[in-house]
Amino acid sequence: MEQKKQNPTAENETLIVSRRIQRVSLHLAPVPRPLHEHDTQEQLGLFPCARSAKLEVETEKLSLYMRGKYREIQEKIYEYFHARPELQTPLEISKDDHRELCWRQMYGLIKEAGIRPLKYVVEDPGKYFAIVEAAGAVDISLGIKLGVQYSLWGGSVINLGTKKHKDKYFEGIDSLEYPGCFAMTELHHGSNVQGLQTVATFDPITDEFIINTPSDGAIKWWIGNAAVHGKFASVFAKLMLPAHDAKGVSDMGVHAFIVPIRDLKTHQALPGIEIHDCGHKVGLNGVDNGALRFTSVRIPRDNLLNRFGDVSRDGKYTSSLPTINKRFAATLGELVGGRVALASSSTSVLKIANAIAIRYSLLRQQFGPPKQPEVSILDYQSQQHKLMPMLASTYTFHFATSYLVEIYSQMKTTHVEQLVGDVHTLSAGLKAYVTSYTAKSLSVCREACGGHGYAAVNRFGILRNDHDIFQTFEGDNTVLLQQVAADLLKQYKQKFQGGTLAVTWNYLRESMNTYLSQPNPVTARWEGTEHLRDPKFQLDAFRYRTSRLLQSAAVRLRKHSKTLGGFGAWNRCLNHLLTLAESHIESVILAKFIETVEKCPDASTRAALKLVCDLYALNQIWNDIGTYRNVDYVAPNKAKAIHKLTDYLSFQVRNIAKELVDAFDLPNHVTRAPIAMQSEAYAQYTQYVGF
């Protein structure tokens, strides 16, 4: 009797389990397989698109189109580290050991592999950024340390100095004989560079500058290469000249000075210089960040990096630029290369995370329809929604940052004023947008790999910790987005005054009136696939949103400035302005991706990129569908069609996800996580970790 009483319970449990499996199967979009005679595609909940043909993608052609002419130099770096396993960063390493390893990695790259980055900083910035990207793929600390040595320390000497400085320091910097630092940030001042407190006072008697740290808040802080390896520093300080007035000195604004900080032979700190270690950090512990305090440190007058302002022997100041603000803007304008490098490097980190998460998701199997094999977790719609739009964004960022590198290189060779402004704002926006997106995506990738993603060997924790600071250095992201918003408002004002707009902002001049008019009630209801996948519709939608945000921001600022003043009005509208900046950057990103697709010479590669571009565009529109619905730019039926088509495109991208990830062409010792290296059987992973 007792056994009979238990049977109904057992049967109920079986039914419950069966129902749960059936419900889970409704989330599947599995790879089509032969069906059992009692199964139908409708029962499995397949999208209609699952029956469509898979795109044929030739990985080699796609990779060549993406990586282009810098593929060879990156392969050289990858091959060097593959042949030197002792230079690959282990999982468990102390701060001090990591710093020494990072130095040996950089030294080997320069001395053994024959990579000489500094000449590319000058002659071919695109090649330099490719070197930094490849080095960062090996160890992000290495990429950052290279950037400190060549882009920041070396770049400041080259870009802010004159011929005498290049003649004296170029070879030593390039060969690592003169390892150096970039000493701008202070304990109390980071983003507000004009507020720096370190002073450099000219002594006309000895023909020297005297560098002083007047307070604890003026200590140079977070200075890369300072704690252990640096022998020189580009020190940013207020230039003070003797004056015959009550103050006794004249403040000429922030300038850069070459200051030796350690003896070239003994490596001991020089007199008047205190060097402290900033200690263990959340990430990037291969980079030796330190703090510098200066007490009456004397340097020759020639150590002033005098491209934009000079001091004569008798203490007279001369400059081709008439005001402190113009000199300051010119100085910072020459340093935007760091932002370009970070946007590019952040995209590289996103590629690695995508490769690991997507390869794992293709192989890992969980659940499945009754009496059928388990299916790949990338066949779950939820997993596709996590990873496929991210993969599309990765491609979008790749081409956008490639464009940024291209116009930055043009700026360095032509010095066209209009291009300088364009690069300054676009580098600020892309650096902020891409690094913020990557930081969030790293956590999504970790989660998408479940418990295995939490193992340190699978790199997500390391990538996340090392990359996190990308959102802060070379300009805090919130501050950089405000720069973009400010420039947009300036362009908006010029539009109505008939002024010349920068290249990136041409659409404001050409189409502002169209975008600000009432939405067309007919096109607002068009829901055909051909229309939704039309690049014109997609780009118009992005630009419509940006234009409305820009107009409404201008109106709000004008209103609030009457009662709150300029600063108060800006602060009242700050979140609105940040949204405006992000919207503009998304418009630029999409425009460049569309252009890249149209230029692609190979038909199959072009079709794959078009699919990825459509997913990026429609997913972004869907994510902000409330904005479009509020102004009737998109009718309810069209919104529903966009949602369905986004699901369709996400599945289609899933079908070629392996080829898209393989086209990144990252070697196994870069995506060295076991879950990313599996090819045939999951048993390879369990054997690797000793199960």
d(CA 330, CA 418): 13
Residue 46 has pLDDT above 60, yes or no: no
Residue 540 has pLDDT above 80, yes or no: yes
| Res 507: pLDDT | 59
Query: Where are the chain's structural domains?
Result: 61-174, 180-317, 337-671
Residue 47 has pLDDT above 50, yes or no: no
d(CA 166, CA 178): 13
Supply the DSSP string of 636-671, one letter for each residue: HHHHHHHHHHHHHHHHHHHHTHHHHHHTT---TTTS
Pick the CATH number of 180-317 from 3.50.50.60, 2.40.10.340, 3.10.20.30, 2.40.110.10: 2.40.110.10
- pLDDT tier, 17 (very low <50, low <70, confident <90, very high otherwise): very low
Residue 52 has pLDDT above 60, yes or no: no
pLDDT in tens, 316-375: 999 988 888 888 888 877 778 899 999 999 999 999 999 999 999 998 888 888 888 888
- pLDDT tier, 127 (very low <50, low <70, confident <90, very high otherwise): very high
d(CA 155, CA 141): 19
| Res 30: pLDDT | 38
Cα angle: 433, vertex 438, 443; to 5 degrees: 140
Q: Catalytic residues, which ones?
A: 474
d(CA 364, CA 369): 16
Q: Would you list which residues are annotated within the binding site for FAD? A: 185, 224
The answer to whether residues 386 and 339 touch, using CB atoms and an 8 Å cutoff, is no
Cα dist from 209 to 199, 235, 242, 299, 319, whole Å: 9, 12, 11, 5, 18
- pLDDT tier, 18 (very low <50, low <70, confident <90, very high otherwise): low
The answer to whether residues 375 and 27 touch, using CB atoms and an 8 Å cutoff, is no
| Res 518: pLDDT | 64
Residue 512 or 394, more confident: 394
Alpha-carbon Rg for the chain in angstroms: 28
* Span 61-174 CATH architecture: Orthogonal Bundle (1.10)
Q: Would you list which residues are annotated within the binding site? A: 185, 224
Please choose, from the candidates 175, 315, 310, 289, the residue with its C-alpha nearest in 3D space to the C-alpha of residue 233.
289
Amino acid at 315: G
Residue 74 has pLDDT above 70, yes or no: yes
Residue 495 has pLDDT above 90, yes or no: no
- pLDDT tier, 194 (very low <50, low <70, confident <90, very high otherwise): confident
| Alpha helix segments (H runs only) across 39-114 | 41-44, 59-67, 71-82, 95-111
- How many CA atoms lie less than 13 Å away from 74 in the CB half-sphere? 25
Query: Residue range 17-26: average pLDDT?
Result: 46
d(CA 685, CA 343): 33
| Res 175: pLDDT | 95
CATH entry 1.20.140.10 includes domain 337-671: yes
The answer to whether residues 28 and 379 touch, using CB atoms and an 8 Å cutoff, is yes
d(CA 356, CA 362): 10
Cα dist from 250 to 46, 202, 245, 555, 595, whole Å: 75, 10, 9, 41, 51
Please choose, from the candidates 127, 34, 44, 643, the residue with its C-alpha nearest in 3D space to the C-alpha of residue 337.
127
pLDDT over 70 percentage in the chain:
85
Q: Measured in Å, how far apart are the chain's first and last C-alpha atoms?
A: 45
Residue 23 has pLDDT above 50, yes or no: no
| Res 340: pLDDT | 94
Q: How confident is the prediction for the chain on average, in pLDDT?
A: 86
- Residues with Cβ within 8 Å of 36's Cβ and at least 6 positions away in sequence, in order, are 371, 372
Residue 681 has pLDDT above 50, yes or no: no
- pLDDT tier, 225 (very low <50, low <70, confident <90, very high otherwise): very high
Residue 490 has pLDDT above 50, yes or no: yes
